[in-house]
Structure 1
Amino acid sequence: MTSPRPFIITGAMAAGKSTTAESLARRLDPSVHLRGDVFRKMIVNGAAPMGPELSVEALRQLALRRRLACDAAQAYVEAGFSVVYQDILIGDALQEVAERLRHLSPAIVVLAPAPEVLAERDEARSKTGYGPHFPPTILTSALKNETPRLGLWIDNADLTVDEVVDRILAEFAGSAQPRTT
């Protein structure tokens, strides 16, 4: 049996992070799907607004969220679980998380469909994040121009979830224990 390790799934809003992460976690045994936004949702009072312009407090809370997620991922890996950590990690945030988890050899996956695909997917969701003052081009531009080219970058616009997960597992073969069915 191979040692468990963390998988980091990132991309813009509506890139398919949650769906891909859940599907990948279901194909690993034992596994955890760690959603970074759960740490923001735990804040009862004082959560800073998130959007295209971030306040100093929002940046502080995002840094805390990443630190807590990395601590949780490490604890689960040390307990023998493969962890699929999913969050919006753009720019220096991806490098920071990769460094925090470096000793666990994280498998990094960036889902990077075109802005038009993100807009279409966002409109079809019950929770929308984009709008006139926050178009998908803001995040796709930051991914393209400010995010280090770490790991596997996938334009998943024309791929099924299973095809994306197959590609991830093929890229990082032997890095976690696939579930046998």
Structure 2
Amino acid sequence: MGDVSLDGGVLVITGVMASGKSTVAQLLAEHLPRAVHVRGDVFRRMLVSGRRELVPRGDEEAVEQLRLRYRVSASTADLYAAAGWTAIVQDVVLGEHLRPYLDAIRARPLHLVVLAPSQEAVAAREAARAKTGYGSWTVDGLDHVLRDRTPRLGLWIDTSDQTPEQTVRAILDDLKNALIED
């Protein structure tokens, strides 16, 4: 492991749908002595009635619900970190939403990992999954948001040809580049 530790604090894993966020976050949490896996999509599903799905060029209500989800997720991560847990948060946080999301997390240290497999790898993974995430989004459209509109913060990893275990090792070996400075 590198010279930076994951003891306590928050590590955010983001990327497009089917990039491996859930699997990698769970494996990473299992490698740590005291960790929690905060799944951002859980907070979306908690909205029972009146929920608006975010679509390309979504309406303002859908964007406000997304921002609420991010605030709840950030607060949850902070609460776990304050209680001595390392919070591994995974969610799709891209484009103009990434910086405000990171700013909402108060716990330190704060790390960010962006999983960035190729479009071909994402399409193959999406086709092999039991669940579908892309609905009104396309792999190409979301990949464009990731690569062209998301700030280059933290550690970006092309996971196209990696197993989840290899990705976890790459994260642990390069934590210093994942560290977000104030």
Q: TM-score, normalised by structure 1?
A: 0.90
Query: Distance between the aligned counterparts of 2:65 and 2:46, measured in 1?
Result: 12
Q: How far off its partner does 1:117 sit?
A: 1.2
Structure 2: gaps (5+ residues)? none
Could you list the per-position Cα deviations for residues 30-83 of structure 1 after superposition, in whole angstroms to 9, with x for gaps in the alignment?
100000111111111111023323211110000000000000000000000001
Aligned equivalents of 2:80, 2:107: Cα separation in 1: 14
CA positional deviation for 1:149? 0.4
The residue matched to 2:72 in structure 1 has which SS?
helix
2:71 partner amino acid: R
In the alignment, is the contact (CA less than 8 A) between 1:34 and 1:69 conserved in 2? yes
Contact 1:119–1:130 (8 Å) recurs in 2 = no
**Aligned with 1:145 (options 145, 148, 156):** 148
**1:20 maps to 2:24:** yes
Cα displacement (A) at 1:129: 2.3
Give the superposition deviation at 1:98: 1.5
Question: Number of residues paired by the alignment?
Answer: 173
* Compared CA separation, residues 103 and 119, structure 1 to 2 (3 A): same
**Per-residue CA shift, 1:92-131, capped at 9, x if unaligned?**
2111121122552311000001111111111111111236
Q: 1:2 to 1:143 in 2, by over 3 A?
A: closer
Give how far 1:165 is off: 0.4
Aligned 1:1-181 pairs, distance under 5 A = 3-101=7-105, 103-130=107-134, 134-172=137-175
Q: Tell whether the 8 Å contact from 1:36 to 1:87 is kept in structure 2 after alignment.
A: yes
Runs of 4+ with deviation above 6 angstroms: none
**In 2, Cα distance between equivalents of 1:37 and 1:119:** 20
The residue type equivalent to 1:153 in the other structure is W
- Tell me how large the CA RMSD over aligned residues is: 1.8
Conserved 8 A contact 1:109-1:154? yes
In 2, Cα distance between equivalents of 1:21 and 1:3: 15
Contact 2:78/2:107, CA 8 A, preserved across alignment = no
Report the alpha carbon displacement of residue 3 of structure 1 after superposing the two structures with TM: 4.2
Matched-pair identity in %:
42
Q: Secondary structure at the match of 1:52?
A: coil
Structure-2 separation of matches of 1:46 and 1:159: 39
CA distance in 2, matches of 1:87, 1:2: 19
- Give the match's secondary structure for 1:99: helix
Q: 1:106 to 1:99 in 2, by over 3 A?
A: same
